[in-house]
Amino acid sequence: EPEAGAGEGLLAHLARRACVVVTDEFPAFFIPRMIEAAAAALPVRLEVVDSCGILPLRATERVFPTAYAFRRVLQRTLPRHLDDWPRPRPLFQLDLPRLEESPAQLLGERWAPASEALLGGDADALAALPIDHKVAPTGLEGGADAANSRMRRFLSEHLRRYGNERSQPTDEVASGLSPYLHFGHISSHRILRTILREADWTPEKLGKPQGKREGWWGLSEGAESFLDELITWREIGFNMASKRRDYDRYASLPEWAQRTLDDHLSDPREHLYSGDDFTRAATHDALWNAAQRQLLAEGRIHNYLRMLWGKKILEWSKTPKEALDVMIELNNKYALDGRDPNSYSGIFWVLGRYDRAWGPERPVIGVLRPMSSTNTARKLRVKGYLERYGPQAALL
């Protein structure tokens, strides 16, 4: 929008010339409320299409406490959906009537087309938009072509190493597809179908539905590990968001997690930081600061370090609820895949969702799973990561 509210009335105006309005389903952020409002206001039928993942959202009505529980249902249910692929050209050869007016004529002066300067990313044109200009652009190119190129590079160069090396932040092998999935530039169907086709896979290779992370697909270790992330861990977040309106609220945490955090509310914190401190990467912890600088510069954090990032925010905040607010604010504001059900899963995992109790009981976090920068640096190769996102990165 060139100014706040400029798009008001556009959908209703277009709907007056339509017999049906079709939109994507997305169970998070403000999209469900927007769809409900549109359905109530439009003079024609509104169809919402579930293309969120491989398993349809309505294939199960349950919310799952763990990835293992969800994985077992996936493995029992998914086979019947594996032949139901989206058609690449669903309207091909249909004899549809053409608009008598061009889009520009139909929209008139009130909704004039965006200028070439704006569409081309001209800095002056972008500066005039009513957006938060404190959030700097990243170097990541969007669009379907870029998404497909990223997928091809990942499958050819990194998939075979993914199972063993995906936690390593230096020379990382992560797919980098999360932002593209979030914005609909690529679908999990396309990614899955490409992997299966290149492996000459057939349904006869499927194993027994026992909920195991690896071995069910009958694929390589790297492919099995990646598909567990793409399908199990991504879609369990969509499951939660579609079934519970409070998916982004503290009250949605498991009772055991809320109880242990409540038991330690009054514990002294060794370090306390404000939201501004976290934003500026101004903590005592070099590895945490590097992760935050990566978020500011690239709109993402390496997958493993994203977990550490959240765990430390929990330990260094006055209360768990304040920590949750900080994580959601930073993630939704700076992450390219922010506001996504999968992002919320990662944030709430920090606080116990989809996890179990870990003893012994510790200050501040109780029986939540602990993580430390010291242990992370001992387990992983972080030297190159610290050099890349060290204090000098703040000058970029």
Per-residue pLDDT tens for 219-232?
Answer: 999 999 999 999 99
Which tokens is 177 given? Answer: 């597809």
Query: Is-contact 164 378, C-beta < 8 A?
Result: no
pLDDT grade, residue 99 (50/70/90)? confident
Q: What is the pLDDT of residue 105?
A: 85
Q: Please classify residue 244 by burial: count the beta carbons closer than 10 Å to its beta carbon, then call 0-12 exposed, 13-18 middle and 19+ buried.
A: middle
Q: What is the pLDDT of residue 171?
A: 85
Upper half-sphere CA count for residue 212 (Cβ side, 13 Å): 12
Please list, in sequence order, all residues whose beta carbon lies within 8 angstroms of the beta carbon of residue 72, skipping any fewer than 6 positions away: 209, 210, 211
pLDDT grade, residue 98 (50/70/90)? confident
Which residue in the block uniquely carries the two structure tokens 């006055």? 318
* pLDDT tens digits, 120-163: 989 999 999 999 999 999 999 999 999 999 999 999 999 999 99
pLDDT mean over 181-193: 98
pLDDT grade, residue 393 (50/70/90)? low
* pLDDT tens digits, 330-339: 999 999 999 9
Asked whether this chain's domains 58-88+133-243 and 250-395 adopt the same fold, the reply is no
Is 392 a residue whose pLDDT tops 80?
Answer: no
Is 203 a residue whose pLDDT tops 50?
Answer: yes
* pLDDT tens digits, 264-284: 999 999 999 999 999 999 999
Supply the CATH classification number for the domain 58-88+133-243.
1.25.40.80
Which tokens is 340 given? Answer: 């996504």
Instruction: Report domain extents, the chain.
Output: 1-49, 58-88+133-243, 250-395
Supply the CATH classification number for the domain 250-395.
1.10.579.10
Please list, in sequence order, all residues whose beta carbon lies within 8 angstroms of the beta carbon of residue 149, skipping any fewer than 6 positions away: none
Q: What is the pLDDT of residue 298?
A: 97
Q: Which range in 15-19, 355-359, 389-393 is most confidently predicted, on average pLDDT?
A: 355-359
pLDDT grade, residue 395 (50/70/90)? very low
The Cα 112–Cα 110 span in angstroms is 6
Angle at 90 between CA 85 and CA 93, to 5 degrees: 140
pLDDT grade, residue 394 (50/70/90)? low
Is 201 a residue whose pLDDT tops 70?
Answer: yes
Query: Is-contact 8 37, C-beta < 8 A?
Result: no
pLDDT grade, residue 164 (50/70/90)? very high
Q: What is the pLDDT of residue 101?
A: 84
Is 74 a residue whose pLDDT tops 70?
Answer: yes
Write down the mean pLDDT value for the chain: 95
Query: Is-contact 225 195, C-beta < 8 A?
Result: no
Q: What is the pLDDT of residue 103?
A: 78
